[in-house]
């Protein structure tokens, strides 16, 4: 059970559970087109055990049971993503009626159960046909994404409680085009610089398209890490500043202030699109809320022979089974920082959670992070909601099915769902209105 109560987060606070299309849906034979994750997973040792999302949690067929779990857990909201290749198999052009119908059923299923739909347009499953044209490296993606956003707004806009354009642009750009850990697996500075800019440009054109078509309550979901220096030395402090610029300030500054950190535009100048500054008004279109995904901190040390002159070092806090330090105070500080330095908009913790088989640790993790949100609110942060990542154990990208973030256990052989203690802890807190 949690020590935190619903009342500690204040009236009107939204509690939800989150998932993403590629990680849970499966159901890839309804006319859905291929995505970059299908081919990335099929390549060499990109993903543990060569796991892919072809079946995943079979949510495509089992969504009623999954929405029942959201409702019975007492959650107010469900955060899900649309699969672009299910709706528009080639990325642009013809739509797939079966895909449109699937999301009709899913959204209506939420509304029938009294669950608020929080939709994300892009959670990493780029149609392969668009990757063939350069994907996030190609400026045209701003138009492709806007057309996709318009389709969603027209079809579903009046039924969605909130809409986010992009999930975790750092992952879309840097992790996938510089570190090569996620699809499409590039390790190239020019590819990364272009993706870093185009992903935010597409966010902006997406916001415009959603608004024109009447969708309301628009936001973006940024993954942030508290950047800390490995020591007090000026070199390590400067390394933490660079780490913060790369992970946090590029996205916060771009979207909420229309400016990138100079530290990085200097470093990336030869690789960025020449006229990137002209796009800043589009990138910083007004929003209605900002989502923050938080998992851990980053500790940085100076490393002159490494890219960007920095290296990440391991800390000594308790870690999840992925080796991520558990640091609720980092969430508290980030929420206060974003509300103080960047925006008055409502913030949502759109994801936090822990990869771990021992669920008692997950209960403690959530208790600690809920307290951190309450503390942040007491310090003036404008936080309106908290979503657990994830409703279900699911496809954890390059980790395949080896990593379990769910508050509900999934047996991948039988697809049986079994609520864990952490689900029961949420249920206990959310059904107790005191
Ligand atoms: O599973 C992912 C999710 O897709 C995006 N945010 C982080 C989670 C855990 O790695």
Provide mean pLDDT across the span 212-239.
Answer: 98
| Separation of CA 234 and ligand 1 centre (Å) | 33
Ligand 1 in reach of 120 Cβ (< 6 A): no
pLDDT in tens, 375-385: 999 999 999 99
Q: Can you give the pLDDT at residue 249? A: 99
Ligand 1 site, residue 125, Cβ cutoff 6 A: no
- pLDDT tier, 313 (very low <50, low <70, confident <90, very high otherwise): very high
399 catalytic residue (yes or no) = no
In the predicted model, what is the mean pLDDT of residues 240-251?
Answer: 98
352 alpha carbon – ligand 1 mean position (Å): 9
So what's the pLDDT on residue 433? 65
What is the number of the ligand 1 atom nearest to the C-alpha of 124? 4
Catalytic annotation present for 318: no
Mean pLDDT confidence for 273-288: 98
Query: Which atom number of ligand 1 is nearest to the Cα of residue 20?
Result: 4
Residue 434 has pLDDT above 70, yes or no: no
- Determine whether the shortest distance from the Cβ of 20 to ligand 1 is under 6 A: yes
Candidates 370, 299, 300, 380; CA nearest to 331 is 370
In this prediction the pTM is: 0.98
* Binding site membership of 396 for ligand 1 (Cβ less than 6 Å): yes
Task: Among 126, 396, 398, 399, say which to mutate for ligand 1: greatest number of ligand atoms within 8 Å of CB.
Answer: 396
355: CA distance to ligand 1 center in Å? 10
Nearest CA to ligand 1 atom 1: 396
pLDDT in tens, 390-430: 999 999 999 999 999 999 999 999 999 999 999 999 999 99
Report pLDDT for 366. 99
- pLDDT band at 47, cuts 50/70/90? very high
Instruction: Say which of 168, 225, 356, 396 is annotated catalytic.
Output: 168
Domains and CATH numbers, the chain: 6-431 (3.20.20.80)
Q: Give the 3-state secondary structure of the chain.
A: CCCCCHHHHCCCCEEEEECCHHHHCCCCCCCCCCEHHHHHHCCCCCCHHHCCCCCCCCHHHHHHHHHHHHHHCCCCEEEEECCHHHHCCCCCCCCCHHHHHHHHHHHHHHHHCCCEEEEEEECCCCEHHHHCCCHHHCCCHHHHHHHHHHHHHHHHHHHCCEEEEEECHHHHHHHHHCCCCCCCCCCCHHHHHHHHHHHHHHHHHHHHHHHHCCCCCEEEEEEEEEEEECCCCHHHHHHHHHHHHHHHHHHHHHHHHCCCCHHHHHHHCCCCCCCHHHHHHHHCCCCCEEEEEEEEEEEEEECCCCHHHEEEECCCCCECCCCCECCHHHHHHHHHHHHHHHCCCCEEEEEECCCCCCHHHHHHHHHHHHHHHHHHHHCCCCEEEEEEECCECCCCHHHCCCCCCCCEEECCCCCCEEECHHHHHHHHHHHCCC
Ligand 1 atom having least distance to the Cα of 397: 1
Per the prediction, the chain carries an average pLDDT of: 98
Distance CA 14, CA 266 (A): 40
Annotated active-site residue in 225, 267, 351, 356: 351
The CB of 393 under 6 Å from ligand 1? The reply is no
Q: Which residue lies with its CA nearest to atom 9 of ligand 1? A: 396
The reported pLDDT for the residue numbered 432 is 83
Average pLDDT of the segment spanning 245-255: 99
CA 262 from chain centre, in angstroms, equals 26
How many whole angstroms from 79 Cα to the centroid of ligand 1? Answer: 13
CA-nearest of 308, 284, 290, 286 to 298 is 308
293 lines ligand 1 (CB under 6 A): yes
Residue 389 CA: nearest ligand 1 atom is 8
Q: What spacing in Å lies between the alpha carbon of 396 and ligand 1's midpoint?
A: 7
Residue 37 has pLDDT above 90, yes or no: yes
**Banded pLDDT at 162 (limits 50, 70, 90):** very high
Say yes or no: CB of residue 22 within 6 Å of ligand 1. no
User: Which atom of ligand 1 lies closest to the CA of 399?
Assistant: 10
Percent of the chain with pLDDT over 70: 100
Paired sense of beta strands 417-419 and 408-410, if any: antiparallel
């Amino acid at each position: 059970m949690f020590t935190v109560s619903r009342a500690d987060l204040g009236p009107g606070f939204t509690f939800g559970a989150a998932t993403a299309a590629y990680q849970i849906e499966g159901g890839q034979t309804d006319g859905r087109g291929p995505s970059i994750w299908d081919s990335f997973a099929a390549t060499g040792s990109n993903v543990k055990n060569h796991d892919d999302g072809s079946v995943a949690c079979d949510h495509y067929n089992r969504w009623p049971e999954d929405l029942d779990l959201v409702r019975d857990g007492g959650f107010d909201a469900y955060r899900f993503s649309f699969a672009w290749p299910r709706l528009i198999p080639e990325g642009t052009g013809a739509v797939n009626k079966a895909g449109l119908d699937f999301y009709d059923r899913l959204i209506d299923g939420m509304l029938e159960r009294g669950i608020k739909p929080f939709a994300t347009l892009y959670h990493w499953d780029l149609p392969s046909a668009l990757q063939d044209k350069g994907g996030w490296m190609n400026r045209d993606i701003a138009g492709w994404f806007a057309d996709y956003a318009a389709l969603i707004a027209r079809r579903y806009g009046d039924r969605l409680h909130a809409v986010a354009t992009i999930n975790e642009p750092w992952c879309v750009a840097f992790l996938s085009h510089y570190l090569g850990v996620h699809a499409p697996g590039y390790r190239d500075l020019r590819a990364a610089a272009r993706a870093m800019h185009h992903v935010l440009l597409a966010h902006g054109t997406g916001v415009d398209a959603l608004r024109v078509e009447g969708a309301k309550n628009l936001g973006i979901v940024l993954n942030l890490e508290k950047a800390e220096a490995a020591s007090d030395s000026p070199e390590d402090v400067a390394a933490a500043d660079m780490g913060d610029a790369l992970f946090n300030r590029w996205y916060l500054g771009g979207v909420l202030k229309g400016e990138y950190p100079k530290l990085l535009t200097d470093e990336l100048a030869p690789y960025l699109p020449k006229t990137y500054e002209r796009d800043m008004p589009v990138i910083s279109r007004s929003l209605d809320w900002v989502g923050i995904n938080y998992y851990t901190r980053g500790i940085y040390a100076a490393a002159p022979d490494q890219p960007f002159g920095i290296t990440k070092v391991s800390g000594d806090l308790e870690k999840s089974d992925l080796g991520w330090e558990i640091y609720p105070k980092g969430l508290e500080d980030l929420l206060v920082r974003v509300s103080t330095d960047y925006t008055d908009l409502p913030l949502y913790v759109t994801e936090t959670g822990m990869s771990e088989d021992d669920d008692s640790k997950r209960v403690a993790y959530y208790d600690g992070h809920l307290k951190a949100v309450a503390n942040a609110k007491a310090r003036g942060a404008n936080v309106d909601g908290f979503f657990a990542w994830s409703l279900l154990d699911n496809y954890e990208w390059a980790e395949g099915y080896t990593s379990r973030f769910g508050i509900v256990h999934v047996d991948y052989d039988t697809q049986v769902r079994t609520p864990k203690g952490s689900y029961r802890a949420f249920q206990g807190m959310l059904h107790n209105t005191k």
